[in-house]
Structure formats: C-alpha cells, structure tokens
Amino acid sequence: MRDREAGRSIPHALREHILARAIDVAAFPHTAAVTSMIESTPALRDYARRMWPRHEAALAAEAGVPEDDLTCAAFARFALEAAHLIHGHPAPGQAAEAIFALLEHGWTTVHPGTG
C-alpha cells in the first residue's frame, strides 16, 4: 500500500499484492505447503488472525483515518479474508478482480439492482 504509485487506489494496490502472493503460492510448492500448514493448524491460524489489527492500523495510517475507524477495520478484514478465497480459486486473477471490484465500487455497482 505504502509504495503504490500516485493515483493508484488502496484496493487496487491490495489486489495486486494479494494476487502476486497467490501466484507465489501456486508457483512454489514450499510456499503452498507452509500456507496449508498455517491454515490447517488451529494455533497457527489463530495467531495469523491475531496479527490482523496490525494490518488494520497500517491501513488506517495510510488512509489517514483514526486507528479505531470501523469501516477501515472492516475493509482490512475483508481484504485479508479475501486472500484465502483468491488463493483457493481455480482462476485467482478472476477471483481477485471480482472481489476487489466489490471493495472498490460497492455491492450495488457490481450487482446493480440488488441494493
């Protein structure tokens, strides 16, 4: 996020980062094995989730909002959880596009008439 190009949105930068990570997981078996071990081990999975407030704070600082901003925390958690959906999808690029279009533009823009 912090190193994104001028004019690039935070959702776009996060999409690129998460998609690159999904490609790494798919390309390198050892990375996939570590990711799988973390997700399949309750203590490790819980520890990873407990680290989320750090990411929320970093997003809040980058966005220039208070650290306790609820919408920022919700956005960060959705983006972090989205990584799991993207990594497990047969077409990670399409999954990343769909998920981050929702984050960037909202439900009613992505699915008109359903608001």
Q: Total structural domains in the chain?
A: 1
Residue numbers of the domain that contains 48: 10-106
Predicted structure pTM score: 0.73
pLDDT at 90: 87
Residue 71 in domain: yes
Average pLDDT of every residue of the chain: 85
Residue 23 in domain: yes
Residue 36 in domain: yes
Quick: pLDDT tens for 92-106.
Answer: 889 888 998 998 888
DSSP conformation letters of 32-89: HHHHHHHHHSHHHHHHHHHTHHHHHHHHHHHHTS-TT-HHHHHHHHHHHHHHHHHHHS
Residue 66 in domain: yes
